Amino acid sequence: MSFKTLKLSTKLLQTLEDLNYDEPTEIQEKSIPLLLDKKDILATSQTGTGKTASFVLPMLENLEESTVVKTADARYKIQALILAPTRELVIQIHEKIEAYAKEYTHSSVALYGGIKLGSQVSAIRAGANIAVGTTGRVLDHIKNGSLNLDEVEMIVLDEADKMLEMGFIDEIRKIIALTPKTRHSVMFSATFPKPIMTLAKSFLRQSITIEIDKENLATKQVRQMVNHVSEEDKMPLLCEVIVKNSWQQVLVFTNTKLQADKIVENLKAKKIKALAIHGDKSQGMRKEALDAFKLEEISVLVATDVAARGLDIINLPHVINFELPLNNEDYIHRIGRTGRAGQNGMALSLICDKEKIQLEEIETLVNSKMEVFETEGLTLSTSISPTNRKVKKEIKKKSVNLKKAKELAEKMMAKEGMGKKVIPNKKKGEHKKPKSKRHF
């Protein structure tokens, strides 16, 4: 199937051709015709499936374009509102709208925290008719009087399950209550738990449900691999895998801000250019790090799940789960950063003993048994015993030869009560091993 069969306008088809969009994905194929007819839908929305285009393209077609200069009051009116859980996803959607709408008079504004309201107010007043925002910042603008939802024709909740998980349900309801009841409503969610279905019943009207097979979503383009490693060896293994395989663009996921910073510190110690993005970083710092990664100025970007659903990196080859996510569903979102738009990718998970049961749950979730990633030939510094670390340090410091290093090791092991004892031969300056006794 081609995009031409989806009843899109000639100018939009030309834009898609310029962007090298050849064929619609499954979610696009199923949702675009329904949304062009202004049907309310509830759809699964795993990453890497082209879901943003599935709701933005019909939105651009359905909204009336401006033909006259708007009045001062009209500049506060928004025709379409898209709510998303994270700043990164808001920015990503905004950038996609701007790319798809180049032949339209439609204009988008991204509303998120971390920066002052002023610049966003200016964008709204300049004539933006599509707003993409986090719930908190949208409410800030409504309270400020810089955003009016009285004329909203279409509202989209993107990654609704994540927004509910993050505790935004009350904010969502407040915003929805400020939009017209005649609006066209759309919900995308990775899963359909009971809270999502409850929200859908109050939000959507005679909706149509679209579900895409999770197995295809998670495994179609991504080679999923696993390496079983002790918890203390994860850090050196991560560094060695990247260095030995000469990986130049790697997205590493971890669960905490502290761990993300620690990983960056260790990578830099190995001369690997890396930066982290997480909740403690300002929006400017997060954008700077993401831009540096996209431009390949750094090799590794370390992220917490705040960024898992909001990163759109062209041809990203590798994703590494330093640890499995707190929520199994987030595994799918993480690995969905690679293997996008028909490209192949690889996702490697570093699994310690306490994660083995969760790994089995995830394999059941994606209906796939993961390959084992071989690390034969890799040398892990923390796999060396404390005694041998001291020996290596002495070898480097004193440049002793191999024989003297062995002698040094034997002395230190004897001192620490490890291995066989050595008996010094003072006359020859050498050490001899005692003869072993035979037991009959």
pLDDT in tens, 319-339: 999 999 988 878 888 888 887
DSSP state of 367: T
Condensed to tens digits (0 to 9), the pLDDT of residues 18-64 reads 988 888 888 899 999 999 999 999 998 666 678 899 999 999 999 99
What is the pLDDT, as a whole number, of residue 431? 47
Token couple for 356: 């083995």
Number of CB atoms found within 10 A of residue 147's CB: 27
What is the pLDDT, as a whole number, of residue 333? 80
What are the boundaries of each domain within the chain?
Answer: 3-212, 216-381, 384-432
**3-212 against 216-381: fold identical:** yes
DSSP state of 148: B
Taking the C-alpha atoms of residue 32 and residue 38, their distance in angstroms, rounded to an integer, is 10
The answer to whether 287 and 259 are in contact (CB under 8 A) is no
Taking the C-alpha atoms of residue 192 and residue 197, their distance in angstroms, rounded to an integer, is 6
Considering the four listed CATH numbers 3.40.50.920, 3.40.50.300, 3.30.70.100, 3.30.420.40, the one that applies to the domain covering 3-212 is: 3.40.50.300
pTM of the shown model: 0.64
Taking the C-alpha atoms of residue 348 and residue 207, their distance in angstroms, rounded to an integer, is 38
Q: Is 227 left (phi over 0), alpha (psi -120 to 50) or beta?
A: beta
Query: In CATH, what is the architecture of 216-381?
Result: 3-Layer(aba) Sandwich (3.40)
Q: Which residues contact 34 (CB under 8 A, 6 or more apart)?
A: 41, 208, 210
What is the pLDDT, as a whole number, of residue 94? 95
Token couple for 256: 């905490």
Q: In 308-318, which positions are buried (b, 16+ CB within 10 angstroms) versus exposed (e)?
A: bbbbbbeebbb
Phi, psi (deg, nearest 5) at residue 302: -105, 125
